[in-house]
Amino acid sequence: MPTIDIMGTKREFRCTSRTLTIYEQAFHSDENPKVTGDMIADVMGKQRLDEDSGPFLTDDDGNIVGVIIDFTADNWNAEKRALWAMLKTQSEIDDRHGVEHERVPSYFEWDRMLVEWEPNMREVSNIVGEELNRGLFRAGAAASE
């Protein structure tokens, strides 16, 4: 089970299809079109990884030698919202199995508690992305028909 250290406390989190519902119910708003309520769209956005799309670095012969990472393309708040939804999912699983755990409050209460949390957002982005892929896009998962 993946964990994250939040202000000195290790917390387990998990992404399942339920996480998508938790995220949508908490964050969908017609008043704020930047937040779609679709966790996959908000976190992953549009990704295109072919030679024509750039932002590739090439040598004098045109060979790809690197990629430019655009940190403005990441939706950092969506990453934090997704982490909260994954914490909330794990909390529901723990409740279902009678496991004692620290309750996860509403997103806005949780966010206010993090006033002094200074995470490396790239690490948060990486673990959220890894868990989203593991939970929803893993090889061998049953396909919808």
pLDDT at residue 145 in the model: 42
pLDDT at residue 75 in the model: 77
What φ, ψ does residue 113 adopt, rounded to 5°?
A: -70, -20
Query: Could you tell me the pTM of the whole model?
Result: 0.67
Residue-level pLDDT, tens digit, the chain, 145 residues: 899 999 999 999 999 989 988 988 888 877 877 777 788 777 776 555 455 555 667 788 878 777 655 555 667 888 899 999 999 999 999 999 999 999 999 999 998 888 788 888 888 989 998 999 899 887 655 554 4
Is residue 76 in a domain? Answer: yes
Is residue 40 in a domain? Answer: yes
Is residue 141 in a domain? Answer: no
CA distances from 17 to 31, 42, 60 (A): 25, 15, 46
Count of Cβ atoms closer than 10 Å to residue 70 Cβ: 8
Is residue 144 in a domain? Answer: no
Range of the domain at 37: 3-136
Is residue 37 in a domain? Answer: yes
Domain count along the chain: 1
